Amino acid sequence: MVHSIPHDKDKEPGLTDAINNNIALLLQEVQVAKDAGNFEKAIEIIEKIIEMTEKSGLPSFTYQIEKEIISMRGNIEFSRLIPIYKRQLDYYREQNNLTQQIDTLHSLSAITSNIGDNEQALEYILEGEAILSTNKEIFSTFNSSEIGKSYYEMQFEEFQRVREYLEDILADRS
């Protein structure tokens, strides 16, 4: 899935309340500008958010992706998002942030499948499954839903479902 911009209630971890509040206000301005068709203004505001986030020492990938999407003006070319997601994946690998790696691999799989590169999409899914499988004890401690499933169970089921879907597509081509 393509990331969405965090809303007011979804504060960026690691930022002060003042910065989160400023970002929340700027995100509202972005939406107003987009709704008015003023994409240049929306991009200018997103660039301010990117600068604020990076000055705080945090990654700005979510906002970089949003900036790229806005610049497409409704004609989304998913292939233009791939380099940002790959940089994001590299960053989270360096940080050893497994949860963000899983999320990014899932997004990369969706995007590459959307542009027809199902072989690459499957590779991303298999990599995500491998991370989940080799770190099951870590992910099993996160309870992520009211139905009592752990993060591991929910993610692994999703990755299996997508893997099976992609394998079926690739098998049909053969």
pLDDT higher than 50, residue 9:
no
- Per-residue pLDDT, averaged over 88-112, amounts to 95
Nearest CA-CA partner of 84 in 98, 109, 104: 104
- Would you tell me the crossing angle of helices 39-55 and 61-71 to the nearest 10 degrees? 170
Q: How far apart are the first and last CA of the chain?
A: 27
Range 147-164 burial, b when 16+ CB lie within 10 A, else e: eeebbbbbbbeebeebbe
Q: Is the dihedral of CA 71, 76, 80, 84 positive or negative?
A: positive
Average pLDDT score, the chain: 86
Percentage of the chain exceeding pLDDT 70 = 84
**pLDDT given at position 156:** 86
- Reported confidence tier of residue 13, pLDDT bands at 50, 70, 90: low
Q: Domain 78-173 falls in which CATH fold?
A: 1.25.40
In the chain, domain spans = 17-71, 78-173
